[in-house]
Amino acid sequence: MATVTKRKKRRSRGGIYVLLTVILTLAAVTVGIGLFFKVEAIEVTGNSVYDDDEIIEASGINKGDNMLILEEKLIAPRLTDKLSYIEGADIIKTFPSTVRIKVKEDAPIAYFRAEGNVWLINTACRLYKSQKAADTEGLIKLNGADFTDIEEGTVAVSGKVKFIQELFAAIRDNGIEDKITEIDVSNIGSIAFDYDGRFAVNLGSEGEIKNKVAMLIGAESKIDANARGRLEFTTDIELHFMPES
């Protein structure tokens, strides 16, 4: 009987030793992870509107964070919530110590003045208050949009928003932003702008904007490089060039 009891005690002690060994091993692994998988470098790519520091701060990632418990799926929503012109982001962990933030921006395409401020606007018509005069360099001046309830980080409110979004998208997709300095959408039945410093353009009605922009580019390529004048859509599919007299 005594022998059986001693054996049971030995087994009990053996189980305790095994458990302690497992606990100590797990503790060692945890400490090792904490020591060897810390964020030491944060790299940002794809940004033009915001600088690296703004994006890193908005991401909530800090040097010294544990790489293994860093949750990538939580970081992109932070960026899109805090920074108006970021549409999405990929967070890539490169072990042992680097985190890469690859952002997708919808940069401003135009600007307008309202309520004593200069506002930047992207192709989705999301608004961002200008901080300095240089912010508007290279952007299209937008007139006659009639926006209401203007608030930073929100999509502009106006009966013309859908049309403006379509127009901006067509301009950006065709890479002609730098050829347009100003657009007047006061009357969306007669949209006017100067094109390439050579043509006064009238898009006519708000229909078929994507096709009209494509037709405009095609017409430009067929007109003498030194010619100036007026390009006017008389219908959604008819574009006429009237040379400068």
- How far apart CA 86 and CA 89 sit, in angstroms, is 8
Cα–Cα distance for residue pair 182/202, rounded to 1 Å:
13
Which pLDDT score is estimated for 207? 82
Q: CA-CA distance, 210 to 199, in Å (whole number)?
A: 19
What's residue 18's pLDDT? 64
* Length of the chain counted residue by residue: 245
Strand partners, 104: 88
- Domains in the chain and their CATH numbers? 41-105 (3.10.20.310), 110-243 (3.40.50)
Residue 206, judged by CB atoms within 10 A of its CB (0-12, 13-18, 19+), counts as buried
Residue 80 has phi, psi (to 5 degrees) of -70, -30
210 closest CA partner among 154, 162, 167: 167
Q: pLDDT tens digits for the chain (245 residues)?
A: 555 555 555 555 555 656 666 665 665 555 555 567 899 999 999 998 889 999 999 999 999 999 999 998 999 999 988 888 898 999 999 999 999 999 998 889 999 999 889 999 999 999 988 888 888 999 999 999 999 989 888 899 999 999 999 999 999 999 999 999 999 999 988 889 999 999 999 998 778 899 999 999 999 889 988 899 999 998 888 899 999 87
149-190 pLDDT, tens digit per residue, is: 898 888 999 999 999 999 999 999 999 999 999 999 999 888
**Rg from Cα positions in the chain:** 30
CB neighbours of residue 7 within 10 Å? 10
What value, to the nearest 5°, has the Cα angle with vertex 84 and ends 128 and 210? 80
Burial (Cβ within 10 Å: 0-12, 13-18, ≥19) of residue 94: exposed
